[in-house]
Every structure is written in structure tokens, then in C-alpha cells.
Amino acid sequence: MDQQRATPTEGTPTEGTPTQEAPTQDRPAAGRVVVVTGAGRGLGRAHALAFARAGARVVVNDLGVALDGAGGTALSAETPAGQVAAEIRAMGGEAAVSTDDVADSQGAARLVRTALEHFGGLDTLVNNAGYLRDRMLVNLEEDDWDAVVRVHLKGHFLTMKHAAGYWRAESKAGRTRRARIVNTSSGAGLLGAVGQGNYAAAKAGVAALTLVAAAEFGRYGVQVNAVAPAARTRMTERTFAARMAAPADGSFDAMAPENVSPLVVHLGSDACEGVTGRVFEAEGGRITLMDGWRRGAHIDKGARWEPAELAAPLQGLLHRSPDPEPVYGAG
């Protein structure tokens, strides 16, 4: 961690909880305090601005690292997080800045504390921060495995753990909040992607973690869902340049990151009721419910199989079942 980052937050803490503004059609997140991780750029920035426009007070978190996770910036108005907070304030909204590392236990705890100290509570956590280090598995260095699994998977676990600790305490004190968590998975994690073994494993883990968190946190009033976005950001604009390009004729820019944010704001708002443990793919104007693993056809001998007798029944089982969706980049 950067030693210059002695004071991890900026802005003036709010005294107590201000009068709650009620949500409306135009401002569905009014009265809510929202943390968005990795909100200095790309999708996270779009989510933070959309929440602010929807009436939320936003903690803008971003470590300010390079595309591969290198570097990081000390706290200042010049950081990506500081710039997005300034954009929110310029449009009349309220924002606090955090430059904490979400995959560091103290950083994640401080991030949740930032919301409590600045805005008197926490209602929605959007886990979005992360980076890539793509390699074929045979060339993937252990460090690149560890770093990518750490930032996505541990970076989701730690923030959820600290936020849920707060929501559990609120619930036990008789102040159950209508809390929401929106995690960020990926098509790579749900279907697999060639050259992204570390990232795909981490994002599949995020999907599974979402199911567990939804089941565990429901009793504290928390709904937990995940999105698998596709949008033009620095993460995708080089690899998928043609697919991601904005149309020159001014028609709908399907790959703008802002297209994913309405779903994230909805999942993170009071109006989203009874939706938990779900994963949605979001691209342009299309929202797809991802069906996930479910038990398909089966064979059952009613006794232990011999390995040699399995070939034909197994082929029959596959024959009766739909083919899996292709792995991205395969074949």
C-alpha cells in the first residue's frame, strides 16, 4: 500500500443522519447512501454518476491503478475517485472519496466506515473494482493468478463482510435497513473465456459468492444480486475495438457503460423488492437473466458403477442434454 495514503478519505463528515428524502420515480435512490468500488473510471464511474442523479449520496472508491493493477494514487482531487466526486458535486450531488484497496481487509473496513462517518449510514454496496492480467493458462504466472483472484474475489468478499457486519448490527438494534448489494461478475466467469483463466475463475467465484451472500444476509434485510456487464471501457476497448466502437451516425451507442447503470441503480434501490441471488447479463438495452448451473438429465444405476460400463450411458446422457454455451474465444 502507498505510504502517502495516510488519510484515506476527504470531505467533511456529516453530523448525524440528515432528514431522509423519500424515493420517487425520478429519484429512485433518494435518501440512500451508496458505495461504488472502482468508481473512478469506466462502469463504476457511470454507476456512481447514475446513483447521484437518482438522488443517492455516493462514496466514490477507486485505488487509481493501471489496467493491470499496477501503481495507485495518493488521495487528492486529481485521482480518478476525486474527479468523479467533483463531477457529482458539480451537478449538485453529495459525494465522499475513498482511495482504499477493496482487497485489503483494513481498506474494505475503512471504506464502509467512510459511508457511516460522512453520511450516517450505508444502504447499497456496488462491488465493481478490478483489473485484468490475461494469459493462456500454460503461460500464466502465479503472481498474475493471485493478483486477479485477489482483487475480484477477495475484493468482493471483504467489502460484503464489513458492510454485512454493519447491517447485522442495525438489524439487531431493531433498525433493519432495506440494504442492497450489487456485485460484478462477467460473461467470462459464467461461460469461460480463452486467455482469462484467472479472471474467469474469479468471476465465477463472484457468482457463487452472490448466491451464498443472498442466502446468508436475507435475514438482515439485504438483497444480493450480480451483473455481468459488457461495455466500452479501457478494459475492453483495445481487445474488442470493432465491437465496442461508438456508432458514427449518432444511433444508439449500445456499448456505452452508462447503459448498464440503470439496472445497477434499480437493483440497488428500495423499489427492487424480492429479487435476490440472481445474476443478470447487461449489454446495451438488453438484460438477460443468466440461468446458472442447474441439475439436468441424469442416469442412476441404483448401485455403484464400474468405470468400464459408463461409456455408453454417459454418451446417452450427453445426447439427451443441450450442448453447453461455447466458451468465449474457443474454436
Ligand X SMILES: NC(=O)c1ccc[n+]([C@@H]2O[C@H](COP(=O)([O-])OP(=O)(O)OC[C@H]3O[C@@H](n4cnc5c(N)ncnc54)[C@H](O)[C@@H]3O)[C@@H](O)[C@H]2O)c1
User: Catalytic amino acids?
Assistant: 186, 199, 203
How near is the Cβ of 261 to ligand X at its closest, in Å? 11
- Does the protein bind ligand X through residue 286 (CB under 6 A)? no
Which residues contact residue 167 at a Cβ distance below 8 angstroms, ignoring those fewer than 6 apart?
A: 122, 176, 177, 179, 217, 220, 221, 222
d(CA 61, CA 71): 16
How near is the Cβ of 216 to ligand X at its closest, in Å? 22
d(CA 44, CA 51): 10
Among 8, 40, 93, 192, binds ligand X (CB under 6 A): 40
Whether the CB-CB separation of 233 and 89 falls below 8 Å is answered with no
Q: Whose Cβ is closer to ligand X: residue 259's or residue 269's?
A: 259
Which residues contact residue 176 at a Cβ distance below 8 angstroms, ignoring those fewer than 6 apart?
A: 167, 170, 220, 221
Whether the CB-CB separation of 98 and 34 falls below 8 Å is answered with no
Among 65, 153, 179, 191, binds ligand X (CB under 6 A): 65
Among 34, 88, 103, 263, binds ligand X (CB under 6 A): 103
Among 114, 124, 225, 233, binds ligand X (CB under 6 A): 233
Terminus-to-terminus CA distance in the chain, angstroms?
Answer: 41
Write out the binding residues for ligand X, residues 79-98 only, by CB under 6 A.
80
- Does the protein bind ligand X through residue 44 (CB under 6 A)? yes
How near is the Cβ of 73 to ligand X at its closest, in Å? 9
Hey, CA dihedral for 95, 100, 101, 102, is it positive or negative? negative
How near is the Cβ of 233 to ligand X at its closest, in Å? 3
316, amino acid identity: G
Phi then psi for 213, rounded to 5 degrees?
Answer: -65, -40
d(CA 139, CA 162): 35
- Which residue stretch of 40-48, 137-145, 210-218, 323-331 sits at the interface with ligand X (rule: CB under 6 A)? 40-48
Residue with grid cell 456496488, as numbered in its chain: 126
- Does the protein bind ligand X through residue 230 (CB under 6 A)? yes
Taking residue 288's Cβ as centre, other Cβ atoms within 10 Å add up to 11
Among 56, 85, 235, 279, binds ligand X (CB under 6 A): 235
Write out the binding residues for ligand X, residues 128-167 only, by CB under 6 A.
128-131, 151, 155
Binding mask 163-192 for ligand X (x = CB under 6 A): ---------------------x-x------
- Which residue stretch of 17-25, 84-92, 100-108, 133-141 sits at the interface with ligand X (rule: CB under 6 A)? 100-108
Whether the CB-CB separation of 131 and 67 falls below 8 Å is answered with yes
The binding site for ligand X (CB under 6 A) comprises 37-38, 40-44, 61-65, 67, 69, 80, 101-103, 128-131, 151, 155, 184, 186, 229-231, 233-236
